[in-house]
């Protein structure tokens, strides 16, 4: 899976330093192939912010592969007891599949956070780097990163970082396109489109920004937003407004 234009080579993480205290590492489930890990992660991620069923068509689109490839891989995952799937039905994770998926999501989001906070990457660059590194690093390395970063609970885009025990806490947030007018705080921005991330950063729509939603014109597909730190009003189309999650300012 590739989104965005991250740097072409993986960063040198040899400079990673942290306290000399003992790190207690929670072991990930028994290793799987990178392809299987990606499928499980995408299945889990597709349901994280949506109640829509995960279909083989959806997986083909997100993974950038053909429908036949998805069907074959899903069958292998089902045979391994990691997913359940009936023909033409939704693909769902089993308990074992969820454990693998959440472990990979934790790796991915911790690595993204490290790249932004310690190596100076932009939030629009980190996805592709994390996609490579998450399959290469050890459990101990992942927990060392978590310790050095102070055990963060969200990644650079506002997605929650699962705890080492698999616990996930979603923020109480709603999509900008669906909320009523009022005052809000930005809680999450989808990382699916790096170009959109760059645009939103340019107009001040970043994590924790205080915004006022003045108007939503459904007929024309536009919302009018004021960002507290920016004097100009911002108008967003439905696609952009649907990529931003808002929560209470409190």
Asked whether residue 7 carries a pLDDT value surpassing 80, the answer given is no
Same domain, 40 and 69: yes
Give which of 20, 2, 214, 27 is closest to 139, Cα–Cα: 27
Same domain, 161 and 180: no
Asked whether residue 10 carries a pLDDT value surpassing 50, the answer given is no
What distance in Å separates the CA atoms of residue 189 and residue 104, rounded to the nearest whole number? 20
Same domain, 53 and 132: yes
**Mean local confidence (pLDDT), 202-208:** 96
Residue at which a domain ends, from 140, 170, 200: 170
List, in sequence order, every residue forming a beta bridge with 93; answer none if it has no partner.
Answer: 83
Is the model more confident about 217 or about 242?
242
What distance in Å separates the CA atoms of residue 188 and residue 246, rounded to the nearest whole number? 7
Helix (H) or strand (E) holding 40: helix 34-48
Report the share of the chain in percent with pLDDT over 70. 88
Same domain, 127 and 188: no
**Mean local confidence (pLDDT), 202-221:** 93
Same domain, 65 and 185: no
Whichever domain contains 212, its CATH number is 2.30.30.90
Distances (CA, A) of 184 to 81, 204, 246: 42, 14, 6
Domain that holds residue 207: 174-247
**Token reading at 142:** 């992942």
> At residue 173, what are phi and psi to the nearest 5 degrees?
-135, 155
Do 96 and 82 contact (CB within 8 A), yes or no?
yes
pLDDT at position 13: 44
Please write the tens of the pLDDT for every residue from 55-70. Answer: 999 999 999 999 999 9
Asked whether residue 2 carries a pLDDT value surpassing 70, the answer given is no
pTM of the model: 0.84
Please write the tens of the pLDDT for every residue from 71-81. Answer: 999 999 999 99
- What is the count of structural domains for the chain? 2
**Token reading at 91:** 């693909």
Asked whether residue 25 carries a pLDDT value surpassing 60, the answer given is no
Same domain, 66 and 189: no
Average pLDDT of the chain? 89
Distances (CA, A) of 143 to 7, 92, 220: 24, 28, 47
pLDDT at position 20: 35
């Amino acid at each position: 899976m590739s989104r965005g234009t991250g740097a072409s080579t993986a960063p040198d993480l040899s400079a990673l330093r942290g306290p000399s205290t003992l790190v207690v590492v929670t072991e990930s489930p028994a290793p799987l192939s990178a392809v299987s890990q990606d499928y499980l992660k995408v299945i889990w991620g597709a349901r994280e912010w949506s109640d829509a069923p995960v279909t083989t068509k959806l997986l083909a689109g997100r993974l950038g592969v053909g429908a036949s490839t998805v069907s074959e891989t899903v069958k292998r995952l089902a045979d391994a007891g990691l997913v359940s799937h009936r023909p033409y039905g939704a693909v769902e994770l089993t308990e074992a599949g969820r454990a693998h998926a959440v472990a990979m999501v934790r790796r991915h989001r911790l690595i993204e956070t490290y790249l932004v906070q310690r190596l100076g990457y932009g939030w629009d660059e980190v996805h592709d780097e994390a996609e490579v590194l998450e399959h290469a690093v050890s459990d101990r390395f992942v927990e060392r990163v978590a310790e050095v970063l102070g055990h963060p609970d969200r990644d650079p885009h506002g997605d929650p970082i699962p705890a080492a025990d698999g616990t996930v806490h979603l923020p109480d947030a709603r999509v900008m396109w669906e909320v009523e007018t009022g005052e809000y705080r930005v809680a999450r921005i989808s990382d699916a489109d790096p170009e959109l991330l760059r645009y939103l950063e340019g107009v001040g729509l970043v994590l924790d920004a205080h915004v006022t939603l003045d108007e939503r014109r459904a007929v024309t597909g536009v919302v009018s937003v004021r960002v507290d730190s920016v004097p100009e009003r911002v108008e967003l189309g439905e696609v952009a407004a649907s990529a931003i999650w808002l929560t209470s300012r409190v």
